[in-house]
Structure 1
Amino acid sequence: MLRSLRLSSSTETLNLHPRSPPLQGNSAEGTPRSSTQPSPTVNLTHEYNLAVQTSSYGEIWSKIHTRNSSNRDPNQGQGDGEEEQQLSAQVLHPNRDCVQEALQHVRPNTLIRLVSSYFDHSENTSNLCLLLQDSVHRARSLYAPLHDLLDVLPLDSGSNSLTQSQCDRAFDIFLQFDRFNNPFTCPNSHNFHDMRRCFSQLKQQLDHCLYKCHSRVRRLRHATTGCAICLIGTVVTVAVAIASHALVAFVVTPFLPSLLPSKITKKERAQLAQLNAAAKGTYALHNDLDTIDRLVARLHTAVDGDKLLIRIGLDRGRDRHAIQEVVKQLHKNHPNFDHLLLDLEEHICLCFAGINRTRSFLLQEIHHHRSHSS
């Protein structure tokens, strides 16, 4: 699976990104645009580029960027609760109402409870992703005046490269930046810890259920095979004594279809499909949370580093040399910070896309099971 490959190491994950806006509808979902022979090694950059050019990714990107954040107060908390719920309903597919409507018409059992847990945990993950996207919006608002300043100030390292008016403007922007809080949570936030713990527990339960389901299928097949061999052997023995080889074939053949437990096999196959989908989705989401957590930790550290740098400059007053040194360092930090912000936004969208794929498949399986059971 793409995400499993993409998340196999933090170094690969954090550096494999296209540096262009997401494209919408330029390729089929998850389908490569070329028919080249598969390479013995996976090109993660190519696979990542394909993932961010799917139509589902583009739709999610558009929806979570609909809110204008240019004038948002960086110290403002997450948006209005009703607004967040509306956005969640637009981005999360199938949404909570669709899932609840489907689950209330199926008989509760271990499988349904596990699938329901996946729906709940994936919805909680999507809400966390929306909160993080809001943090990205607030970070852009926090840095917008600072980046506008850096765009017009010279990069000359000389102590007199800035005029006094430029120093005064920089000092005022530094004061404004210093007043605002870090928009990103502290590393190892309890939100991530609790969410990963939930997915880890769910994965263990799904794996245990998968093992039991596979064991039942194997026992059933072995028992069926044994019965078939015994019955066929008996029929052949009797038939050989009373008829020719042609009669043997005529007598044995009608027994074979009835020996295959078609209804039970379909049920087991449906259960395995749902369990596998939930287990893969759980594993992928757990890894997505690890990657997103690392990105948030790096962004939190980057903002704290800039705030410390600016605080040192402010402590020196309107000294041109001190401000010049701060500006010089901020120029160096700027590209990396923008890179990290885009990384986080892309991973949030990919996380949403993975959640929606698994939720859609599970709901489809539930509807399919209901239609065949009624």
Structure 2
Amino acid sequence: MPYCLSFNQASPEASLGDDPLPHPSLESGAAASTSRNDASIPSPTFNLSHELAHAFQTPSYHDIRSRVHVIDPTQHHHKHHQTQPDIELLLSQVLQPNKECVQEALRHAKQTTLTNLVSTYFQHSENATRLCLNLYQNVHSARHYLYTPLLELFNVFPGDSHVAIDESLCNLAFDVFLKLDTFENPFSSPESYSFQETQLCFSQLKHKLDSRLHKSRSRVRLLHHATAGSALCLVAAIVAVAASAAVIASHVILTLVVVAGPLCSTYLSHSFKKKELTNISQLNAAAKGTFVLNKDLDTIDRLVSRLHTGIEYDKLFIRLGLERGRDVHSIQEIAKQLRKSHLNLTHQLKDLEDHICLWFTNVNKARFLLLKEIHLSRT
């Protein structure tokens, strides 16, 4: 029996409130796209560096890091070695609420436009998380097979390029470069990267959620105006009847009051309004989550693109240098250039790793908040 969320105060998932989703700037952007009434509200002061530093210190973020740190990069050198069961196992450990919990929550739901949108949201977030898990493995693969060997070489290589190296160091460096030349770039080119399709799915879903949210809000406004109109009509009827009270019997007054209400407006049930407000809560949770997650994907996509370009540049330089054979000058020149790019690319790998873990944290928060709204709609 899969573990599913318990929506009470003692639930461990309640700690997700340590960093409410979405972030202030993102939430204001999402609200602006879904409600014109919020346009007059000033955007809160937002400092990206501060928000990221805070996000990287939250308990939920550290919990995610503890779950995914067990990935063994030595098992994932080439993409064809990344077996689907490995990813699915990691997905079940990282993604919460998991697929089983979502299916259980939606199993008895009536098939409506809202239900379909919610189901699509959960599926898109699951697919994107699977993609991020592959990326996380690729980060470790690049670090283990490309930049760790380079760091080990730099530790024994003279830092001053003017200091000549002996034949043994030349041969050692040449062999390392030969091995690195065979290393496949683990990050796809921006043109072929599957994140574009994933981002398009999120953008289309956001548009549909906004459209459905607008309809629900319009219905609630109509209900509000109709209810207010009915109340005014009823008051007018009572006043008119009271003015005629001297000549009309009391039982006739009751008859007029009962009849006046339906004549003024169509009967609008309280349950219908409550249902629309419940729909708005779910749509809001899904729309905000979609907005934030798509922004996270934008950041990850840019980092991946930069890493792909940087690694391709290093590989090209290594290949050009190896064509000259075991020439001391060529080997030293390769080492000099790689030392320059090494620090920058290792920092980029760290940035990508951090933002992927932040994705895991945010996607779990977003899924939890939406599933919570679904649960509340049944109480």
TM-score tier, shorter chain, comes to 0.7 to 0.9
Q: 2:71 aligns with which of 67, 71, 81?
A: 67
* 1: CA distance, partners of 2:96 / 2:287: 18
Residue of structure 2 in register with 1:220 after alignment: 223
Equivalent pair of 1:30/1:54 in contact (CA under 8 Å): yes
* 1: CA distance, partners of 2:71 / 2:359: 20
Q: Sort the Cα spacing of 1:27 and 1:205 in 2 relative to 1 into closer, same or farther, 3 A.
A: closer
Q: List aligned pairs for 1:99-248, cutoff 5 A.
A: 99-143=102-146, 144-158=148-162, 160-239=163-242
Q: List aligned pairs for 1:278-357, cutoff 5 A.
A: 278-357=286-365
Deviation readout 1:260-284 (Å, 9 max, x if unpaired): 9543332222100111111111122
Equivalent pair of 1:72/1:141 in contact (CA under 8 Å): no
Q: Percent identity between the aligned chains?
A: 50
Segments of structure 2 that go 5 or more residues without pairing to the other structure are 1-14, 21-42, 247-253, 262-266
* 2: CA distance, partners of 1:350 / 1:225: 46
Q: 1:30 aligns with which of 19, 32, 44?
A: 19
Segments of structure 1 that go 5 or more residues without pairing to the other structure are 1-25, 32-38, 244-250
Q: Sort the Cα spacing of 1:271 and 1:193 in 2 relative to 1 into closer, same or farther, 3 A.
A: same
TM-score by length of 1: 0.81
Equivalent pair of 1:75/1:181 in contact (CA under 8 Å): yes
Q: Sort the Cα spacing of 1:157 and 1:67 in 2 relative to 1 into closer, same or farther, 3 A.
A: same
Residue of structure 2 in register with 1:17 after alignment: none
TM-score by length of 2: 0.80
* 2: CA distance, partners of 1:315 / 1:81: 38
Q: 2:98 aligns with which of 81, 95, 99?
A: 95
* 2: CA distance, partners of 1:338 / 1:275: 40
* 2: CA distance, partners of 1:189 / 1:55: 35
Q: Which amino acid aligns with 1:326?
A: I
Equivalent pair of 1:207/1:279 in contact (CA under 8 Å): yes
C-alpha deviation, 1:161, in angstroms: 3.4
Equivalent pair of 2:16/2:60 in contact (CA under 8 Å): no
The residue matched to 1:188 in structure 2 has which SS?
A: coil
Residue of structure 1 in register with 2:280 after alignment: 272
Q: Does 1:361 align with 2:365?
A: no
* 2: CA distance, partners of 1:209 / 1:266: 16
The residue matched to 2:82 in structure 1 has which SS?
A: coil
Deviation readout 1:275-311 (Å, 9 max, x if unpaired): 1111111122222222211111111111111111111
Q: List aligned pairs for 1:10-29, cutoff 5 A.
A: 29=18
* Runs of 4+ residues over 3 Å off in structure 1: 236-243, 259-262
Equivalent pair of 2:67/2:93 in contact (CA under 8 Å): yes
C-alpha deviation, 1:238, in angstroms: 4.0
C-alpha deviation, 1:81, in angstroms: 2.2
C-alpha deviation, 1:147, in angstroms: 1.6
Which deviates more, 265-274 or 107-116?
Answer: 265-274
C-alpha deviation, 1:211, in angstroms: 1.1
Q: Sort the Cα spacing of 1:27 and 1:102 in 2 relative to 1 into closer, same or farther, 3 A.
A: closer
C-alpha deviation, 1:79, in angstroms: 2.8
Q: Sort the Cα spacing of 1:122 and 1:28 in 2 relative to 1 into closer, same or farther, 3 A.
A: closer
Q: Sort the Cα spacing of 1:29 and 1:240 in 2 relative to 1 into closer, same or farther, 3 A.
A: farther
Q: Sort the Cα spacing of 1:369 and 1:73 in 2 relative to 1 into closer, same or farther, 3 A.
A: closer
Deviation readout 1:306-325 (Å, 9 max, x if unpaired): 11111122112111111111
Which deviates more, 199-208 or 300-309?
Answer: 199-208
* 2: CA distance, partners of 1:40 / 1:216: 30
Equivalent pair of 1:28/1:55 in contact (CA under 8 Å): no
* 2: CA distance, partners of 1:240 / 1:92: 68
* 2: CA distance, partners of 1:65 / 1:216: 48
C-alpha deviation, 1:188, in angstroms: 2.9
The residue matched to 1:345 in structure 2 has which SS?
A: helix
* 1: CA distance, partners of 2:59 / 2:245: 67
Q: Which amino acid aligns with 1:50?
A: H
Q: Does 1:56 align with 2:60?
A: yes
Q: 1:45 aligns with which of 43, 49, 68?
A: 49
Equivalent pair of 1:78/1:131 in contact (CA under 8 Å): no
* 2: CA distance, partners of 1:94 / 1:40: 30
The residue matched to 2:188 in structure 1 has which SS?
A: coil
Which deviates more, 80-89 or 273-282?
Answer: 80-89
